[in-house]
Amino acid sequence: MSERRREHLRRIALELETLRASIHQLKAEEDAGSELLPGNNTVNRRHALEHAFEDLRDSINHMEEVLATLAEATGEV
Tell me: pLDDT of 37 over 90.
no
pLDDT value at residue 40: 58
pLDDT value at residue 20: 97
| pLDDT, greater one: 35 or 76 | 76
Domain tally, the chain: 1
Q: Determine the residue type at 34.
A: S
> Taking the CA of residue 69 as centre, how many other CA atoms within 13 Å lie in the half-sphere pointing to its CB?
6
Q: Would you place residue 45 in the very low, low, confident or very high pLDDT band (cuts 50, 70, 90)?
A: confident
Domain that holds residue 46: 3-73
Residues 39/43/49/53 CA torsion (nearest 10 deg): 150
